[in-house]
């Protein structure tokens, strides 16, 4: 990515971005929690059922259970933080261009046809921006 | 739409009948009696190995047959899963006969932590499994050489396991002793509350893994899940 295309602000349109962020997290975290929760329960229940003898469960299974819980307690916030950052980047890729498009269209609506909509090469709405820029080029030529 | 509704109702009824069939096909079949009269008597029991393998064999002498357990520095149990878990309040009694030939020598482990002294020549488990495995509870009836009769202790492995001394000392060693216990009363005494979970399994064990010695016992006529006639 070109240096000038780097994002400086990741929160440009809070309402929209938070909605997308919520959707992304719900789509990723909820199924992941559901599946891992079921697996977690199933694995330990089956192992406990297999070991059967209470001392064996207490001696062999409980230490594993505690270790996994400790890993989860420390690991989960990290994973959630990483997902939040990823969600923020993805939501910015959608919300950033919409914010810019709205701002530039407001300028055009005021009669400033010299303005051109700038987008990053990998932004989602670059095709629309290029088409609007072409319309603006044609409009300016006709005015001349 | 109407057709879909009919199909839905039909499937619901079929599914309900199917479920009811499954539920009612499991008879409670209590009380459950284990006379250990043939070698196949152990088919219903599962072996659970903790450390090494204890020999569990049905043996007979003259007209008597019984279960013989022999541990050489090993700990393994035999485990009977109750087909349909039952409320101990409904069928509170359990009884069995046992005989201890050789106790594990715990004297040499006198100063070691409890977890390393947890060897008994004979113990009978009543297990109350829970959906959440670490909430499962267990009562263990043990024959202890030193602890007094009816002494209740918390297992060094887990506070969900309570041990009750139902036979104490060596004076009855080598003799058949009959035990009959009210599981609900014992549970209340051990845990302070009545059992909320159902009885899901019974297990027997002789172990001498910590003492690295020998434990030898006999079990017979185990009867679980019955009411005491008054």
Q: Which residue has the higher pLDDT, B16 or A79?
A: A79
Number of other residues whose CB lies within 10 A of the CB of residue B183: 21
pTM confidence score: 0.78
Contact yes or no for A94/A122 (Cβ under 8 A): no
B161–A55 C-beta distance less than 8 A: yes
In which element (H, E) is residue B214 found?
strand B214-226
Nearest CA in chain B to A66: B134
**pLDDT of res. A141:** 87
Provide the token pair at B38: 């043939």
- Each residue's pLDDT, cut to its tens digit, for chain B (230 residues) gives 677 777 777 777 777 766 665 555 454 578 999 999 988 899 999 999 999 999 999 998 888 899 999 999 999 999 999 988 999 999 999 999 999 999 998 887 777 776 777 899 999 999 999 999 999 999 999 999 889 999 999 999 999 999 999 999 999 999 999 999 999 999 999 999 999 999 999 999 999 999 999 999 999 999 999 998 76
CB contact under 8 A, B160 and A58: yes
Which string of b and e fits A22-46 if b means at least 16 CB within 10 Å?
eebbeeeeeeeeeeeeeeeeeebee
Residue of B nearest to A50 (CA): B48
Question: Which residues in chain A have Cβ-Cβ distances shorter than 8 Å to B50?
Answer: 53, 55-56, 59
Tell me which chain A residue has its CA closest to the CA of residue B154.
A55
Highest mean pLDDT among A86-90, A122-126, B51-55, B106-110: B51-55
- Strand B214-226 versus strand B64-72 pairing type: antiparallel
Give the count of Cβ contacts less than 8 A between chain A and B. 58
- Which of B50, B81, B140 is facing A56, going by the closest CB pair? B50
């Amino acid at each position: 990515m070109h240096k000038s295309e780097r994002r400086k602000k990741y929160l440009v349109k809070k309402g929209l971005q938070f909605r997308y962020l919520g959707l992304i997290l719900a789509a990723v975290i909820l199924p992941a929690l559901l599946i891992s929760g079921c697996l977690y329960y199933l694995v330990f229940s089956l192992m406990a059922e297999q070991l059967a003898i209470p001392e064996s469960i207490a001696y062999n299974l409980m230490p594993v259970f505690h270790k996994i819980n400790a890993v989860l307690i420390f690991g989960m916030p990290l994973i959630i933080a990483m997902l939040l950052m990823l969600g923020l980047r993805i939501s910015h890729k959608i919300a950033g261009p919409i914010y810019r498009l709205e701002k530039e269209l407001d300028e055009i609506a005021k009669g400033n046809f010299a303005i051109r909509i700038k987008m990053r090469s990998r932004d989602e709405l670059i095709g629309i921006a290029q088409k609007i820029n072409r319309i603006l080029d044609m409009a300016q030529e006709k005015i001349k | 739409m109407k057709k879909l509704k009919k199909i839905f109702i039909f499937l619901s009824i079929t599914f309900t009948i199917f479920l009811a069939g499954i539920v009612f096909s499991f008879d409670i079949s209590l009380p459950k009696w284990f006379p250990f009269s043939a070698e196949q008597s152990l088919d219903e029991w599962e072996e659970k190995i903790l450390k090494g393998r204890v020999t569990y064999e049905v043996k007979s002498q003259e007209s008597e047959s019984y279960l013989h357990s022999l541990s050489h520095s090993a700990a393994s149990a035999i485990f009977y899963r109750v087909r349909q878990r039952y409320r101990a309040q409904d069928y509170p009694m359990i009884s069995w006969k046992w005989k201890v030939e050789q106790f594990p020598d715990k004297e040499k482990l006198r100063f070691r932590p409890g977890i390393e002294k947890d060897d008994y020549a004979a113990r009978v488990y009543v297990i109350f499994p829970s959906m959440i495995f670490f909430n499962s509870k267990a009562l263990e009836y043990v024959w202890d050489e030193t602890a007094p009769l009816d002494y209740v202790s918390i297992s060094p492995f887990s506070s969900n396991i309570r041990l009750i001394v139902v036979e104490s000392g060596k004076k009855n060693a080598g003799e058949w002793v009959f035990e009959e216990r009210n599981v609900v009363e014992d549970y209340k005494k051990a845990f302070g509350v009545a059992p909320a979970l159902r009885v899901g399994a019974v297990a027997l064990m002789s172990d001498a893994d910590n003492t690295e010695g020998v434990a030898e016992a006999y079990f017979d006529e185990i009867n679980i899940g019955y009411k005491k006639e008054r």
